[in-house]
Amino acid sequence: MTLHEQVAPDVGLIDADAERLGQVLGTLLDNALRHTPPAGSVSARATRDDGGVHLGIADTGDGIDARHLPHVFERFYRADTARDREHGGSGIGLAVARAIVVQHGGRISAASEGPGKGATFTVTLPATGPLDVS
């Protein structure tokens, strides 16, 4: 498994509870690692634009079918119950993650081009201060 990380130099600051935000990123990373085979890769990146700070966790793993995608943030929802049950999750990680992000005035989204094509989760949070701080 290859792990990449990339933080834009001008990403700036966000006003967040570090422990709770760490929990969100931990959930996304845990899911990505669990759904990606050893030959795959997981990347974490942080970027900034007018819309805020974007924290993305992308993997090249199992992917998510389009019909499951809108539901993955629901409490207890698990896209592939037979397979996911073996992985021991309870299906609440993303529901809790979304609640934390919303409490911070942000949003979270999931994208995937389908089964086997990997998944990307993006957390967007309001940045504190102006975009151009130079």
Ligand X SMILES: Nc1ncnc2c1ncn2[C@@H]1O[C@H](COP(=O)(O)OP(=O)(O)O)[C@@H](O)[C@H]1O
Span of 68-76, 77-85, 92-100, 105-113 interacting with Mg ion by CB under 5 A: 92-100
* Residue 54 binds which entry of ligand X, Mg ion, none, CB below 5-8 Å type-dependent: none
Contact 104, 17 (CB under 8 A): yes
Query: Which of 21, 62, 108, 125 touches ligand X by CB under 6 A?
Result: 62
Q: Is the dihedral of CA 2, 85, 20, 96 positive or negative?
A: positive
Residues 78-117, one symbol each (x = binds ligand X by CB under 6 A, - = not), give xxx---x----xxxxxxx----------------------
Q: Which 4-43 residues touch ligand X, going by CB under 6 A?
A: 27, 31-32, 35
36 binds Mg ion (CB under 5 A): no
72 binds ligand X (CB under 6 A): yes
128-133 LR contacts (CB < 8 Å, sep 24+)? 128/12, 128/13, 128/14, 128/15, 129/12, 129/13, 131/10, 131/12, 131/48, 131/49, 131/50, 132/10, 133/10, 133/12
* Residue 90 binds which entry of ligand X, Mg ion, none, CB below 5-8 Å type-dependent: ligand X
* Residue 79 binds which entry of ligand X, Mg ion, none, CB below 5-8 Å type-dependent: ligand X
Angle at CA of residue 76, ends 71 and 77, nearest 5°? 30
The whole-angstrom separation of Cα 134 and Cα 132 is 6
* Residue 127 binds which entry of ligand X, Mg ion, none, CB below 5-8 Å type-dependent: none
